[in-house]
Structure 1
Amino acid sequence: MKPWFKRSLFGFAGAALLAGSLAGCSSYRHGWGGGSEQDRAEFRARMVERVGSKLELDATQKQKLKVLAEKIQAQRQALRGGGDPRAEFRALFAGAKLDQERARKLVEDKTATIQSGSPEVIAAAADFFDNLNPAQQQKVREFMDRGRRWHRHG
């Protein structure tokens, strides 16, 4: 297989995956992705309380978790942009041929957004995790190993 074709194929697959993920998130009307800013703020507050109780966080640790949740939400909003992700993705297939240039631009824009916002998210995650005690850090590791949500476990 020619290298340029292989790169194009992987690029398109990446764009499709990214756009599909964004489109799926756009229809979710509560939690991180949908609803009003007030709804998202309430969701973040509930999440901080839920995780805080599971990890037995003190006030400082809860504040660091709140900052992390806000950074994640800001990154998600930046990825969604101002438009409709579904419409943006559908537009790639609107013509007789796939709009490859537009697909590349979509991937480049989303990649740039991730790269520009990631340092803040990583710093907030490190600040939160590094300030947990070893038992709390172990609970976080166990949660990630299970691959499930906090509220599904007693």
Structure 2
Amino acid sequence: MKPWIKRSLFGFAGAAIVAGSLGGCAAHRWGGGDPAEFRAKMVERIGGKLDLDTVQKQKLATLADKLGAQRAAMRDAGGAGGTRTQFQSLFAGNKLDQSAASKMVDEKTAAVRTGSPDIIVAAADFFDNLNPAQQAKVREFMQRGGRRWRS
């Protein structure tokens, strides 16, 4: 497989996992309520765990907004009906609709490619403005695979 195809597929998979995780948490924790309310609660919770100041919280909120926009772009890529409906339609006939599958992957990949630079900049802006102790807490959280923060 060509390297750019692998990178695109890994990027797509990574973004889908992040978007799905955020969406799953939002639906599970707060009954699928307002995404902006969910992001605000997460910013406050993470801000409390990391002892963020006001500027750092603003940078985290910007990152959360960019991730939410990326999730919406992924969900909306490919038109109406949502990803689940699009995926189910691929298997509706006697054979897998390969051209529609390729088109769906291309649309989702394009959405990731378009939104990724903004997310990278926002993530770097947030992380680079943390002090070393806060950065260590973020690294520790990531090493545990994203499991809950410990006080």
One-letter identity of the residue aligned with 1:75: Q
Residue of structure 1 in register with 2:132 after alignment? 134
**SS class of match (2:103):** helix
Give the residue type in structure 1 aligned to 2:112.
Answer: I
Distance 1:96 1:78 in 2: 30
What is the Cα deviation at residue 35 of structure 1? Answer: 3.7
Q: Could you tell me how far 1:30 is from its partner in structure 2?
A: 2.0
Give, in whole Å, the separation in 1 of the partners of 2:44 and 2:148.
11
Which residue number corresponds to residue 27 of structure 2?
Answer: 30
Asked if 1:46 corresponds to 2:41, the answer is yes
**Distance in 1 between the 2:148 and 2:35 partners?**
18
Q: Which stretch of structure 1 is more off in the superposition, 76-85 or 97-106?
A: 76-85
Q: Which deviations, in whole Å up to 9, do the C-alpha atoms of 1:60-119 show, x marking residues without a partner?
A: 000000000000000000000143211100100111110000000000000000000000
Q: Distance in 2 between matches of 1:55 and 1:150?
A: 13
Q: Distance in 2 between matches of 1:57 and 1:143?
A: 16
TM-score calculated relative to the size of structure 1: 0.77
Contact 1:31 1:43 in 2 (8 A): no
Q: Take 1:49 and 1:150, find their aligned partners in 2: how far apart are those partners?
A: 15
Gaps of 5+ in 2: none
Contact map agreement 1:30 1:40 (CA 8 A) in 2: no
Q: So what's the TM-score if we normalise by structure 2? A: 0.78
Large movers: runs of 4+ above 4 Å: none
Q: What CA distance in whole angstroms lies between the structure 2 residues aligned with 1:112 and 1:79? A: 9
Q: Distance in 2 between matches of 1:95 and 1:75?
A: 31
Other structure's SS at 1:95 match = coil
Query: Which of 58, 61, 75 lines up with 2:56 in the alignment?
Result: 61
- What is the CA distance between 1:31 and its match in structure 2? 6.6
For 2:37, give the aligned amino acid.
Answer: E
Aligned position for 2:108: 110
* Structure ID, larger Rg: 1
Q: Which residues of structure 1 form unaligned runs of 5+?
A: 1-5
